[in-house]
Every structure is written in C-alpha cells, then in structure tokens.
Amino acid sequence: METTPDMRTDFTTIIDAARRISAPLGDEVESVLTVGRERPLPRAEIARLLTAVVEVLRRSASRRGDEQTGKALDDVNCVVDLVLGVRERIVAVSSQSNRIALVERNGIPPGRVSPRPCFHGIEVAMNCGFVKTTDIQLWDANERLEIHLGQFQQQHGRKPTGAELIDIMLSKMKLPGIPIGESTDQFEIVQLARSIAVNGVRKPPIIDTDGTLLDGNRRVAACHYILNSDDFEADDKKRVEYIFVWQLTEHATNDERNAVVVSLNFEPDCKQDWPAYVKARKLYLEWQAMLALEPRAPGSQRQTVLKRSLAKKFALEMNTVSRYLKMIEWSNDFEDFHLTRKQRDNFEVKHRANHYFQYFDELQKGTSRGVAYALDQDESLKHLVFDLLYDGKFRNWSQVRYLKHIPGNEDARAALVRAREESDTDTAQEFVDDGIAIARNRSAEERQLGVNSRIESFVDWLEALPVSAFRDRINAPNLQRLLKALRLVEAHVSANLGSTGTEQ
C-alpha cells in the first residue's frame, strides 16, 4: 500500500508525541503504531484500545509523580485524534487503488448484507453485489490445494498464475501422483459446472476487498470452465459472466477473515442430500413424461437425444441417467413382486426399495450374459433374490454379481432357498455365502473343463481371419493384448511340448 508524504509526516508526529508522553515506552508505542498502520483495526476498536492506553499512562505518571500528567493526557488526546484521522485517509487511498467495485446487474444494485451474517460466532459486516467473473482471484492459499501448490512451487520456483490455478483445479496440469485423463476431475469441477450452467451460482462466493476469494474457489473455477468450454451454449456463458458475491468491507480484520474460512470449511452445513432412490425416482417420472409426448416409440438415437436433455435438466452425467433409469426399472419389478405376490404394505415395500437401492445397480448389469440376463431368464430365481434382498440376507451388494452362476446349479440354488426359509438373519447370510461359494467354484471348474473346446473355437476363428483384418479392423490396444497372450502361450507350450512346439 502506498502512503502520501503527508501521511508519513503525520506518523512521524504521532511517534514523536508518544515518545514525549512516556519515554520508557516510546519504542513499544512506535512498534504498536507501525503494526496498526499495516493492519488497521476498526475505528471503534482503535478508540477502545487507545482509551486503555491513556489509563495506563495516567497510572504510570501518577506512580512516578509526574507533574506534567495533565499536559501529557492532553497530548494523548491529540494523538488519538491524529491516529484516527490518518487511518481514515489511508483506508480511502487503499480502497480507491485495490478495491474491486460491486456493480448493479439485472436491476439488483449493490448494498449491505442484512442481517449481518455470523461466522464461527463472529458477526461480519459485508456488502453484496455483482462482479465480473474474470476479476475474481482464485485463492492460492486455499488448504484444499496445499499439496498441489507445493508441487507447483517446487517444479517452477513460483506461485501459479490464475489460469494455472484453474488448470490445477480442473486436473489438466500434470503433477506427480495425480492421474491425468478425461475421466479425472479431482475437485468435481465439471459436474459443478453443469449444475451452474442450469441453475446459476446459488450460494454467493465471499471475496475480500481486492477480489481475493475466501470461499467459493470451486464455484468460480466452474464458471471459468463454462466460459472457456465448447460444451456450453451462449446462454450458459452469459449466466456466469457476472457473479453475485458477498464482499468484506474495508474495516474487516484478520480474525473476521479467519472466521469466514473456518465456518465455511470446518463446520458442517448439516445438509443431507436426497437419497439416490428419491433422485432416480424423480428422474424416471420425468423420463416417462418425455416418452408420453413422443408420437411413437423412440429409437435408440432419439432416446439418446432425450436422455441428453434429461441429463442437462438434472445436471447429471449421461451414464448416470441411463444407470438410474435401469435401476428404477429393477426397483419397480422388486416393488411389484412384493406388492402383488406377497401382499405387503405399499410404504413398507418402498422403504425397503429405498434402503437397498444400490443393489439394483448390480442387478441391472449384464443384459447379454450377466446378472440381469440370468435373472430375466429365470423368474423363480429372480423372485428368490427379491425375497432375500427384502429380508436383508445378502451381506453386501458385491454378492449380487455372482448370481449369474446360480442357474443350472441346483446345490447353489438350494442353499439360497434355505437362506430364504431361515428366520435368523445371521444364519441365513451364512447359507447365502455357501450358495455363492458353490456357484463360483462350479463356474471355475466348468471354465477349466471347457478350455479345450474354447481353444479349438478360437484357433479355428483365428486361422479363418483374413490377414488384412490385423491391419484394417483390429485396433492397436487389442493387437497388443493378443500379442501379449500369444507370448504367454508360447512360454507354456515350450515348457510342456519342447522348443519345437510338437509332442515328444
């Protein structure tokens, strides 16, 4: 911060006056006043502290028998007035040179945040208004980025620029120990950006007077991502060109800044997300409404278009939309079975479907030859599984993936039936464990017994394959996998048949 010659002169006058009042304390007073110049307190706080100083000086002078106490006190009053006057002039200069101005937007003028918000037990005065997104400085002291910033500093010998901070938060910058790729979004900026593109920034970021972020790094990074990504339309970009923020006043103290950071990053907001079952059910109802408006059953391409619209509306990934819809279809089968076949209470069934909803993620997988296919081909097995799931007799969702080995294995099925009939949950879970183990072991045996026929089929297919297919149809990763497998086979063949590859 720059100071004018008049300010420096006034500070010299203040320090000289302090020395005249109490020579033994002059150095300490000079130090305090210098710190006060660098980190100014609010006016009321300064007045309170200086009043306390007057009282200390009065008692000190009385003990020393200082006859000039009255004059000294008069001098102190002058010092107080001088300090407060200089401080206000410094604040004015600082505000004009460093302050990011709040502007009016969409008919909303800047103003005070009222009632005054409370952070970590401290009320903090703030103003609110709009600022241009590109004028907001990402907070390079954010503890969330501590390791990343340390790595960058070590590599480059400097702090990252604002653009580099954005790249770090978007996982675009290569740093040791962090996987890089399109699927990597360590801070989940892309998902947040999709939500903001639809809804705007719903919770105002908090900035300091100079535009430095104290809260909202991810939100602002997501806005930058929207502005610079081709994945978003012009309306999306316009929505985030300016952001509504809360801004500290020029009187804010470091204690108030720390209170904001602690309150918003350490204290829980006690918000409970909707269960996945509730989200998926709402998504499914919207999907059914979209299908009802179609003049005829949509084909796969049209369904993709509809799902993309649904994904944007609910700020979800496309694969999440597809997964939720399939999970709800299995949940519907589960609920329908227990309502119509078992005559159970409607709300009790829905509670169970909600509680075990993640199991339907495993049940819907493998429509060609996995779990979903096995259960769709065997209705009695599906109903057996629904009974076990309703009564909580699976230990965890991972057991579901092995149900594809149950069809055709009577011993494994018998173990699951015993589990359904067993009233004690712990004992029933042991029967399920047995059934899964039997199915897995039998599957392993079948794979070993069928190895010769599989090899014969593969060799016949490989020999009939045109040479041009290796150049034109098989991609490089599969060629590498094939080569690796053939080398492994060659090693085993050499060990068992000799170097010529023929039986001895």
- 248 sits in which H/E element: strand 242-248
- From residue 220, give the alpha-carbon distance in Å to each of 214, 381, 446: 11, 51, 56
Given a contact cutoff of 8 angstroms between Cβ atoms, the answer to whether 126 and 206 are in contact is yes
pLDDT of residue 391: 95
Positions of E strands within 87-231: 111-112, 118-119, 122-123, 126-132, 206-207, 213-215
Determine the Cα–Cα distance for residues 14 and 79; give it in Å rounded to an integer: 6
CA quadruple 288, 282, 222, 106: dihedral sign: positive
The angle subtended at Cα 464 by Cα 462 and Cα 469, nearest 5°, is: 75
pLDDT of residue 503: 45
Given a contact cutoff of 8 angstroms between Cβ atoms, the answer to whether 110 and 204 are in contact is no
How does DSSP assign 468-485, residue by residue? HHHHHTS-HHHHHHHHHH
Given a contact cutoff of 8 angstroms between Cβ atoms, the answer to whether 278 and 285 are in contact is no
Token pair for 313 = 């509306």
pLDDT of residue 280: 94
pLDDT of residue 362: 92
CA quadruple 94, 96, 97, 98: dihedral sign: positive
Given a contact cutoff of 8 angstroms between Cβ atoms, the answer to whether 124 and 260 are in contact is yes
Q: pLDDT digit of tens for each residue in the chain (504 aa)?
A: 445 555 566 556 555 555 555 555 556 655 655 555 545 555 566 666 766 676 676 677 667 666 665 555 555 556 566 666 665 555 544 444 567 889 999 899 999 999 999 998 899 999 999 999 988 877 666 666 777 778 888 888 888 887 788 788 777 777 666 554 444 667 788 888 988 988 889 999 999 998 888 888 889 989 989 998 888 999 999 999 999 999 999 889 988 988 888 888 777 766 677 889 999 999 999 999 999 999 999 998 999 999 999 988 887 889 999 999 999 999 999 999 999 999 999 999 999 999 999 999 999 998 878 899 999 999 999 999 999 999 999 999 889 989 999 998 999 999 999 999 999 999 999 999 999 999 888 765 555 555 676 677 778 778 887 877 777 778 777 888 888 888 888 877 777 776 555 544
Closest to 323 measured CA to CA, from 312, 305, 313, 311: 311
- 3-class DSSP state of 406: coil
CA quadruple 16, 17, 18, 19: dihedral sign: positive
Q: How far is CA 31 from the centre of its chain?
A: 45
Query: Would you give the DSSP letter of residue 498?
Result: -
Token pair for 431 = 């029967």
Closest to 394 measured CA to CA, from 364, 429, 425: 429
CA atoms within 13 A on the CB side of 11: 19
pLDDT of residue 173: 76
Determine the Cα–Cα distance for residues 285 and 270; give it in Å rounded to an integer: 28
pLDDT of residue 371: 92
Q: What residues does each domain of the chain span?
A: 5-97, 111-265, 276-449, 466-497
CB atoms within 10 A of CB 419: 24
The angle subtended at Cα 183 by Cα 179 and Cα 188, nearest 5°, is: 90
What is the total residue count of the chain?
504
Residue with tokens 């200069």: 93
pLDDT of residue 246: 96
Describe the chain by its helix, strand, coil percentages, rounded to 5.
65, 5, 30
- Please report, for the chain, how many H helices and E strands are present, in that order: 22, 7
Determine the Cα–Cα distance for residues 339 and 331; give it in Å rounded to an integer: 12
CB atoms within 10 A of CB 477: 8
pLDDT of residue 103: 93
pLDDT of residue 380: 95
Token pair for 312 = 């944007």
Strand-pairing partners, residue 127, are: 112, 247
Determine the Cα–Cα distance for residues 352 and 396; give it in Å rounded to an integer: 15
Q: How far is CA 379 from the centre of its chain?
A: 41
Token pair for 6 = 């008049």
Identity of the residue numbered 313:
K
Identity of the residue numbered 233:
E
pLDDT of residue 32: 59
Token pair for 329 = 């279809």
